[in-house]
Amino acid sequence: MLEFLSKEVRDGLDLARKAKDRRKSKLRVQVGDAVFPVLRFWHDGFVLDGALTPHLRGLVDLYDGSRHVFQCLIVATTAEAGEITCEFKRLTHVADKAPLDFWLDPTLPVGLLTKA
């Protein structure tokens, strides 16, 4: 259906769709000091704006607003229709504390009062 529209109208529709995706998503990729907005995200990849982003490979950090959410290892990128599709091999959740190396019983008391 879009092939019957003029090139200017199609370009305008693409720009409006990208602007809507950019406003809707708070996800962003950070590589060193460079930050790139994520347009779409799924379980093994994400899409970036091709005009703003170079081809990425390697370890990148994924943020949701100011919160560090994931570390991703990008193994493949493809560019088509002004968008860069990145696929990752590894997606690691970032925790704000180190994992415990022992089992912690949830029924144990937090503290012990010797005198009341």
What is the domain-level CATH number for residue 56? 2.40.10.430
Report whether pLDDT(103) > 70.
yes
Query: How many structural domains comprise the chain?
Result: 1
Does 113 reside within a domain?
no
Q: If phi over 0 gives left and psi between -120 and 50 gives alpha, with beta otherwise, what is residue 57?
A: beta
Encode pLDDT of 18-66 as tens digits.
777 666 668 899 988 999 989 889 988 999 988 888 888 899 999 998 8
The pLDDT, as a whole number, for residue 12 is 85
What are residue 59's DSSP bridge partners?
Answer: 73
Q: Provide the whole-model pTM.
A: 0.65
The pLDDT value recorded for residue 97 is 83
d(CA 49, CA 79): 10
Judge whether residue 116 has pLDDT over 70: no
Please indicate, yes or no, if residue 14 is contained in any of the structural domains: no
Q: What contacts 5, CB < 8 A, 6 or more positions away?
A: 13
